[in-house]
C-alpha cells in the first residue's frame, strides 16, 4: 500500500528502496500508522474483521451490542493489589495483564498494536457491554505521550465517540515527551488533539488512575476537568504537576543551595513534598477524583460506572463541525 512504487520513487527522487520496505506491512503498521490490524493471511484478516465488527453498532444512531457473559461483573482481582512493581513507579511493567484481568475474559481486541506502543488502544467488554480502552504502556517511554501516540489516542477516542462506544482509561503517564525532536514535529499541536478529543466526546467517559498522572498528560489521559464522568484512583496514584524530585528541587532551590548539607536538605524536602502532595487523596478531597479504590475492585467499579452512565445524554449548541487541531 503506497502512494507510489519503487520505480517511480527512484525516477522522481533518486531514492532506491524495495517495495516491501517502502510500502509493506511493517512500513504502515509500525512506522506510518496507516495499518490498524495485522493478520498472517487472508483468512485471518477476515476473521479479525469479523471480530472487530462484533464490537460496533450497525450505524452511528445505535448503541453497540450487549452480549451474554459468564464473567461476574463484581469479580474481585486480588492479583492487582500487588501488580505494580514498586511504589515509586520507576520500574517499567507490562500493562496487558492488567487489561486482560479487568475486562470480560478474552474480550480485549487491540487496535494499532505496533504503532506508537507507549499507548494501548482497543475494544473490550465489561459485563457484556462494549467499551474502548485507552491505556499507557510503561514498557515504552514509560507510557509517555509523543506525537504519534497522541494522534493514535485522539483518533481512537473520536472513533468511539462517533459510534456511541464508552471509553475507559487506565492511567500511568509521566508526561508529554519533550526534547527538540518532538518540539519540531509539533508535540504541542499533536498533544492538543488528545485534549480536544476528550473535551468533544459525548459518550460515557471513565478514568482509572493507577500510577503517574503528571502535567498536561493528566488531561490527555482523561480527568474530570477535560470531561470524565467518573474518575477513580488507586492508592498508588501520583497526581501532580511533576514528580516530587523535580517539584521540590525547583520550589526549594534557594533553600537547598544555601543549606550546609544540600543533599540532605533536598532529600528531606523531596520526601515532605511526596508525603503532602504526591498521592490521590488531596485530589479526592477537592473533587477531582470521585473515589480512591482498592486495585482488586477495579473491574467492579468500571462495570458499575458503565451501567450508571448507560443513558448519558449531552446537550450542546448546534455547530457545523468541530475544528480539531490538525
Instruction: Note whether 122 and 266 are same-domain residues.
Output: no
| Closest CA relative to residue 174, chosen from 213, 205, 121 | 213
Cα separation, 303 vs 112, in Å, equals: 25
Map residue 154 onto helix, strand or coil: helix
C-alpha cell at 269: 524536602
Instruction: Note whether 198 and 268 are same-domain residues.
Output: no
Q: Is 10 among the domain residues? A: no
pTM value? 0.94
Q: Is 315 among the domain residues? A: no
pLDDT at 285: 94
| Closest CA relative to residue 288, chosen from 234, 204, 240, 224 | 224
Q: Is 38 among the domain residues? A: no
Q: Is 23 among the domain residues? A: no
Q: Is 324 among the domain residues? A: no
C-alpha cell at 161: 465517540
- Contacts for 245-250 with beta carbons within 8 Å, 24 or more apart? 245/270, 247/273, 247/277, 248/272, 248/273, 248/274
Taking residue 256's Cβ as centre, other Cβ atoms within 10 Å add up to: 21
Instruction: Note whether 219 and 264 are same-domain residues.
Output: no
Cα separation values, 259 from 25, 254, 264, 266, 268, Å: 58, 9, 9, 9, 12
Cα separation, 218 vs 183, in Å, equals: 19
C-alpha cell at 87: 511504589
Domain that holds residue 271: 244-277
Residue 171 phi, psi (nearest 5):
-105, 125
C-alpha cell at 198: 476528550
Q: Looking at the 3D structure of the chain, how many domains does it have?
A: 2
Residue 167 phi, psi (nearest 5):
-125, 140
Q: Is 107 among the domain residues? A: yes
pLDDT at 242: 84
Averages of pLDDT over runs of 10 residues in the chain (326 residues) are 92 95 96 96 97 96 95 97 86 97 98 98 98 97 97 98 98 95 96 96 98 94 96 95 86 91 91 88 94 98 98 91 86
pLDDT at 29: 97
Q: Is 5 among the domain residues? A: no
Amino acid at each position: 500500500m503506497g502512494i507510489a512504487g519503487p520505480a517511480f520513487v527512484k525516477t522522481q527522487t533518486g531514492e532506491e528502496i524495495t517495495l516491501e520496505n517502502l510500502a509493506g506491512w511493517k512500513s504502515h503498521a509500525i512506522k506510518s500508522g496507516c495499518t490498524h490490524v495485522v493478520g498472517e493471511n487472508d483468512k485471518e484478516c477476515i476473521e479479525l474483521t469479523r471480530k472487530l465488527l462484533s464490537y460496533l453498532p450497525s450505524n452511528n444512531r445505535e448503541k453497540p451490542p450487549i452480549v451474554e457473559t459468564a464473567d461476574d461483573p463484581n469479580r474481585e482481582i486480588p492479583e492487582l493489589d500487588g501488580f505494580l512493581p514498586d511504589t515509586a513507579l520507576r520500574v517499567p511493567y507490562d500493562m496487558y495483564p492488567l487489561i486482560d484481568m479487568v475486562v470480560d475474559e478474552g474480550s480485549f481486541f487491540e487496535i494499532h498494536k505496533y504503532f506508537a506502543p507507549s499507548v494501548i488502544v482497543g475494544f473490550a467488554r465489561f459485563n457484556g457491554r462494549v467499551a474502548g480502552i485507552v491505556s499507557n504502556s510503561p514498557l515504552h517511554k514509560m507510557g509517555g505521550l509523543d506525537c504519534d501516540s497522541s494522534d493514535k489516542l485522539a483518533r481512537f477516542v473520536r472513533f468511539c465517540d462517533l459510534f456511541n462506544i464508552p471509553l475507559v482509561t487506565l492511567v500511568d503517564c509521566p508526561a508529554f515527551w519533550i526534547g527538540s525532536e518532538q518540539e519540531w514535529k509539533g508535540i504541542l499541536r499533536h498533544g492538543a488533539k488528545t485534549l480536544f478529543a476528550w473535551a468533544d466526546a459525548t459518550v460515557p467517559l471513565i478514568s482509572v488512575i493507577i500510577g503517574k498522572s503528571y502535567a498536561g498528560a493528566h488531561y490527555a489521559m482523561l480527568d474530570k476537568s477535560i470531561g470524565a464522568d467518573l474518575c477513580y484512583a488507586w492508592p498508588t496514584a501520583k497526581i501532580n504537576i511533576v514528580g516530587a524530585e523535580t517539584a521540590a528541587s525547583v520550589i526549594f532551590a534557594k533553600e537547598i543551595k544555601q543549606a550546609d548539607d544540600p543533599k540532605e536538605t533536598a532529600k528531606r524536602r523531596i520526601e515532605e513534598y511526596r508525603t503532602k502532595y504526591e498521592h490521590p487523596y488531596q485530589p479526592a478531597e477537592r473533587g477531582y477524583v470521585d473515589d480512591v479504590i482498592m486495585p482488586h475492585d477495579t473491574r467492579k467499579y468500571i462495570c458499575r460506572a458503565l451501567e450508571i452512565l448507560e443513558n448519558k445524554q449531552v446537550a450542546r449548541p448546534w455547530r457545523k463541525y468541530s475544528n480539531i487541531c490538525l
